[in-house]
A and B are shown apart, each in its own frame.
Chain A
Amino acid sequence: MKNTLIGLLGILFLFACDSKKKPSADEISGILDSVRIEEPAISEEVISDIIQQIPSPLEISTLLKEAETKYDKSHLNDPENLSNYNSNFKKALALGVYGTDLGYTNIYGQNQDALFYLNSIKSLADDLSIGQFFDIGTIKRLATNSKNLDSLLLITTKNFNSINAYLQNQKRSNLSVLLLSGGWLEALYIVSKVSEKNPGNQQLKETIGEQKIIMDNVALLLSFYVDNDPNIKDLAKRFAELQSEFNKIEIKTVYREPTYEVVDGMLVVKDNSSSEIIMTDENIVAIRTMVYEIRNNIIN
């Protein structure tokens, strides 16, 4: 609390020193960012459990490839945008965004593009003191050969998992939550863009609708920090608006007992349950419009 007050006094001091030169939004964000964030009231263990639940953005990229949609670089955040991110808050969000973009390039075997994203990721990770997780030499070697795609995917997925665990151990889980929020929003942005281009593809619309479940988790995670972190408070407000659009969607589930068989020592389950997503095209348009707006705000 004391640190927050000092930070706020700092902002007031800036105004007071030169009333003609008002600080920009970025400057304010930077100052707020330097204020030490108090730990949220909720335990690290609970936060870690919720973080663990969030599915990897890779799953959406894989779906897009399986749906035979073409690789489209224009959906991704330009790796050159790096200079836009001048606070830990922005860097952590951007790291999540670039992580998803890297996964997308990986899934489509676009190794040259992957290298650009890796460079930006390494730079952001260094700034956030988590650069040690990226052995850039090994990653680049893997990225230059498409035969190494599986290894590259594996190593980058492992790195992002390790970063999350490390940040939580370091009591910097606010950054972990931002990384995850940025990554999830980027995956939602990409699938929304592809869906807009392919309006007849019902599976893509359902994928957007299903994000309602993850939206609830992301909003919950952000809510833990709103009292202590002014930047997250603002982001959480925008995510809450998105959540209210998702709340207009209904997911109906019919449960049936599963059946089983053993194949090569592995239990193979036949899931006989089913679910239906009740939503309209207007719901999808409203969600996508809001996603574009929030994402634009994050990357610029």
Chain B
Amino acid sequence: MKKLIFALGIILVTTSFNKALAQCDTEKHVEACIPKLQEGYTFLKSYSIDGEGGAKKKVEYSYVFTKGATYQVLICNDGQSTDGIILTLYDSNRKPVASTKYEGSTLKAIAFPCQVTGIYYITYTFEGSTNYCGGSVLGFKR
């Protein structure tokens, strides 16, 4: 009986430990992302990308972009690649404007010189992601 309780205890501790390890620290990625905004861009917003280990298929935010301003959206995560995180920008009619999945490669950023003021949707999806975790920032310049 004692052995059984001990074994259950070990399982419980290991599960909690793994869960803690698997938790997505989006704040860390956001902090790393802000300095990566290109020179001349002013930081506006930060976005958490937490796919909850694959449970979430899409993470979406929206923002009113203004005509005459150029916006830059960056993705940051562990490693050099984007770990399957894809950023797609949609206009107010939900028409896709741009995607980091472009001509067979997956890029880390989009620069968008806005010509029509309106609500734009910033959507993150996952394709073959391992961690389903990252951060993103939005900056602008005139």
Binding site for B on A (CB under 8 A): 49, 52-56, 58-59, 62-63, 66, 150, 153-154, 157-158, 161, 203, 206-207, 210, 213-214, 217, 251, 253, 255, 258, 260, 262-263, 265-275
When each residue 42-79 of chain B gets 1 if its CB lies under 8 Å from chain A and 0 otherwise, what string results?
11111000000000000001111111110010000000
Residue B32 is within 8 A (CB to CB) of chain A in the complex:
no
**One of B5-13, B16-24, B115-123 contacting the partner:** B115-123
Residues of B near A272 (CB, < 8 A) are 115
Q: How far is the CB of B51 from chain A (nearest CB, A)?
A: 17
* Contact for B42 among A58, A207, A217, CB less than 8 A: A58
A214, B46: Cα distance in complex, Å: 20
A229, B89: Cα distance in complex, Å: 36
- How many inter-chain contacts with C-beta < 8 Å in the A-B complex? 113
Q: Contact between B116 and A275 (Cβ–Cβ < 8 Å)?
A: yes
Q: Contact between A271 and B108 (Cβ–Cβ < 8 Å)?
A: no
Q: How far is the CB of B6 from chain A (nearest CB, A)?
A: 39
Q: How far is the CB of B133 from chain A (nearest CB, A)?
A: 19
A158, B142: Cα distance in complex, Å: 20
Q: Contact between A153 and B42 (Cβ–Cβ < 8 Å)?
A: yes
Q: Contact between B46 and A266 (Cβ–Cβ < 8 Å)?
A: no
Chain B residues bordering chain A, tally (CB within 8 A)? 42
Q: Contact between B113 and A271 (Cβ–Cβ < 8 Å)?
A: yes
Contacts A62-B42, A154-B34 known; A260 to B102 CB distance under 8 Å?
yes
Contacts A54-B64, A262-B107 known; A267 to B98 CB distance under 8 Å?
yes
Residue B124 is within 8 A (CB to CB) of chain A in the complex:
no
Q: Contact between B102 and A153 (Cβ–Cβ < 8 Å)?
A: no
The 7 A-B residue pairs with the shortest CB-CB distance in the complex, in nearest-first order: A266-B109, A271-B115, A275-B116, A66-B142, A210-B117, A269-B98, A268-B111
Q: Contact between B102 and A262 (Cβ–Cβ < 8 Å)?
A: yes
A270, B108: Cα distance in complex, Å: 18
Q: Contact between B69 and A265 (Cβ–Cβ < 8 Å)?
A: no
Q: Contact between B109 and A273 (Cβ–Cβ < 8 Å)?
A: no
17 of the cross-chain contacts (CB-CB < 8 Å) are: A55-B63, A55-B64, A56-B45, A59-B44, A62-B142, A153-B42, A154-B43, A161-B46, A207-B66, A258-B98, A265-B109, A266-B107, A267-B98, A269-B97, A269-B111, A269-B113, A273-B91
Contacts A52-B61, A63-B68, A210-B66 known; A267 to B42 CB distance under 8 Å?
no
Chain A residue, CB-CB nearest to B60: A49
* Contact for B97 among A55, A161, A258, A275, CB less than 8 A: A258
Q: Contact between A63 and B116 (Cβ–Cβ < 8 Å)?
A: no
A265, B40: Cα distance in complex, Å: 18
Q: Contact between A255 and B95 (Cβ–Cβ < 8 Å)?
A: yes
Q: Contact between B116 and A273 (Cβ–Cβ < 8 Å)?
A: yes
